[in-house]
């Protein structure tokens, strides 16, 4: 058994864990990151790719934005499609000049891995049986195993950044968790393909055949999604069937302009809203997907991970500088306020753009809402303000 001491053990090397590690390095707070998977596995995950301005600023603050500034594509608007037409919601004009940036989560994670390597502090990959101990005392510790050797790390704080299925939230007694959850009766079938994107801005389409989304990773790589049943399987979806269905769900002009090609990734994701409160249990602080999941409509998941890390790093700085335990409690309160606002918007946009009710009343209300947005500055401002993201 090896023994080590650090100030903060970070569990998980996804965007949350790596961003926290980078921020702590800047603040001079010692930390160790433990990751269950290999680096290659972590870097192969394909997820959303729209960054809020606050996320771009945060990545810049932790020196992880050089490539993002070169390769990220600013989006000055977002498109809602319905009734065979497109409605543009200007982001800058409705928010005093704010935009979002298209840059894939895979690239963000790669940049964060690179700065971790440059910092000289490693990530311990393939850490098996990570276990959290005594986080209800002021002397927590974490144990894990690599290549058959057991290890123990003493610390002052444990940061649970290990995603929805991680060990951190699962280590908290059930009675201490307050869970809010909503599952939706559909999934998203996503395809990545090296074809030019059909639209320069993200398109969210509400159509009689179900929802469709057009996004991009670059000017030569597109990311598209269609609503499918939750029990559907990718084997049911040849590339040809996917392109045909997507085209039918887009306004004619877009469908005709859309280029198709072989898929380089195809997957089905369940859609859910989930929040576990609070985000602090003694010396364990949860962040990112370990504490909450939003439906991907609106692309808030990654952005919320960074706002959590912003609040968490402020809290631990106050904790180490002033021995201020109250700052740890404030972390949970501050982070959850922003999480609930993003949760509300993702839920709203999901309801507005998907069809999942047999009741024609529901669809008529959505159509009335879309028409309201088209003719109301206030309606467009609400969407734009939320889409670019609430300030930290």
- Taking a C-beta distance cutoff of 8 angstroms, is the pair 45, 335 a contact? no
Q: Is the dihedral of CA 23, 28, 29, 34 positive or negative?
A: positive
User: Which residue in 8, 17, 23, 55 binds ligand APR (CB under 6 A)?
Assistant: 17
Q: Is the dihedral of CA 284, 285, 290, 293 positive or negative?
A: positive
CB of 349 to ligand PHB, least distance (A): 8
Which residue, 202 or 291, has its beta carbon nearer to ligand PHB?
202
**Under rule CB under 6 A, residue 297 binds ligand PHB:** yes
Instruction: Using alpha carbons, select from 210, 226, 222, 302 the residue that is nearest to residue 269.
Output: 226
**Under rule CB under 6 A, residue 296 binds ligand PHB:** yes
**Under rule CB under 6 A, residue 51 binds ligand PHB:** no
CB of 217 to ligand PHB, least distance (A): 7
Euclidean distance between CA atoms 215 and 308, whole angstroms: 25
Instruction: Using alpha carbons, select from 180, 140, 175, 178 the residue that is nearest to residue 160.
Output: 140
User: Which residue in 9, 10, 13, 335 binds ligand APR (CB under 6 A)?
Assistant: 13
User: Which residue in 8, 10, 47, 380 binds ligand APR (CB under 6 A)?
Assistant: 47
Enter the tokens of residue 198. 């059909």
Write phi, then psi, for 132 (nearest 5 degrees).
-100, 135
Query: Which residue is at the shortest CB distance from ligand PHB?
Result: 215
Residue 354 DSSP SS3: coil
Kindly determine how many residues on this chain lie close enough to bind ligand APR according to the rule CB under 6 A: 28
Residues noted as catalytic:
75, 204, 296, 300, 387
**Under rule CB under 6 A, residue 49 binds ligand PHB:** yes
User: Which residue in 36, 116, 169, 223 binds ligand PHB (CB under 6 A)?
Assistant: 223
Instruction: Using alpha carbons, select from 17, 52, 43, 204 the residue that is nearest to residue 122.
Output: 17
- Of ligand APR, ligand PHB, none, which one sits near residue 35, judging by CB under 5 to 8 A according to partner kind? ligand APR
Q: In the complex, which residues of this chain contact ligand PHB (CB under 6 A)?
A: 48-50, 202, 213, 215, 223, 296-299
């Amino acid at each position: 058994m090896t023994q080590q001491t650090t100030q903060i053990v970070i569990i998980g090397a996804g965007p949350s864990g790596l961003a926290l590690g980078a921020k702590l390095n800047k603040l001079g707070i010692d930390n160790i990151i433990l990751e269950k998977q290999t680096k290659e596995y972590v870097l192969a995950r394909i997820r959303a790719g729209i960054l809020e301005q606050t996320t771009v600023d945060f990545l810049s603050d932790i020196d992880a934005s050089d490539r993002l500034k070169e390769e990220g594509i600013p989006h000055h608007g977002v498109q809602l499609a319905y009734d065979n037409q497109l409605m543009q919601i200007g982001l800058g004009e409705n928010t005093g000049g704010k935009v979002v940036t298209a840059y894939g989560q895979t690239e963000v994670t790669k940049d964060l891995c690179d700065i971790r390597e440059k910092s000289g502090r490693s990530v311990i990959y393939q850490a098996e049986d990570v276990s959290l101990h005594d986080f209800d005392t002021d002397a927590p510790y974490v144990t894990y195993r690599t290549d058959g050797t057991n290890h123990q790390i003493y610390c002052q704080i444990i940061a649970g950044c290990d995603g929805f299925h991680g060990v951190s939230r699962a280590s908290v007694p059930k009675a201490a968790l307050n869970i809010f959850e909503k599952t939706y009766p559909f999934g998203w079938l996503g395809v990545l393909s090296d074809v030019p994107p059909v639209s320069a801005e993200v398109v969210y389409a509400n159509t009689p055949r179900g929802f469709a989304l057009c996004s991009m990773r670059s000017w030569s790589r597109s990311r598209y999604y269609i609503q499918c049943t939750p029990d559907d399987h990718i084997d049911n979806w040849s590339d040809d069937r996917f392109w045909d269905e997507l085209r039918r769900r887009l306004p004619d002009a877009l469908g005709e302009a859309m280029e198709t090609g072989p898929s380089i990734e195809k997957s089905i994701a369940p859609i859910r809203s989930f929040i576990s409160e609070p985000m602090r249990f003694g010396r364990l602080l949860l962040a990112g997907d370990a504490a909450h999941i939003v439906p991907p409509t609106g692309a808030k998941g990654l952005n919320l991970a960074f706002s959590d890390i912003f609040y968490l790093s402020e809290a631990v700085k106050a904790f180490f500088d002033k021995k201020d335990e109250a700052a740890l409690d404030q972390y949970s309160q501050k982070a959850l306020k922003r999480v609930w606002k993003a949760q509300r918007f993702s839920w709203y946009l999901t309801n507005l753009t998907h069809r999942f009710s047999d009741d024609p009343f529901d669809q008529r209300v959505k159509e009335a809402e879309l028409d309201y947005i088209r003719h109301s500055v206030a309606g467009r401002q609400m969407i734009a303000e939320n889409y670019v993201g609430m300030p930290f």
